[in-house]
Amino acid sequence: MLKRMGMTSGVSDLFFPRATPEFHGLWIEVKAMNGKVSPAQQKFIDNMIQEGFFAIAAWGADAAIEIIKTHYHLR
């Protein structure tokens, strides 16, 4: 369904358009605990890093939350 709507393959699950002094924003690919990053997902992550974003894969919601807290210094 998303592909029919124009979604590009490999785009990360979460995007936070809040910049920091180091990065334009934050992209997170959330995977199940036994999940794997596909080649298209890794290419997207690599491309976003090259464009000045912080982009990363997280295994599980708890890991994604920790990345967000750390990235935005929310402790």
DSSP code per residue over 9-64:
TT--SEEE----SS-S-EEEEEE-TT----HHHHHHHHHHHHTT-EEEEEESHHHH
Q: 20-52, pLDDT tens digit by residue?
A: 999 999 999 999 999 999 999 999 999 999 999
1 assigned to some structural domain: no
35 assigned to some structural domain: yes
Predicted pLDDT at 1: 65
Give the pLDDT mean for 63-68.
Answer: 98
pTM over 0.85: yes
Q: Number of structural domains, the chain?
A: 1
Residue-range definition of the domain harbouring residue 62: 14-71
- Rounded Cα distance, 3 and 8, in Å: 7
3 assigned to some structural domain: no
8 assigned to some structural domain: no
Give the pLDDT mean for 4-18.
Answer: 90
Predicted pLDDT at 2: 66
CATH of the domain at 28: 3.40.1350.10
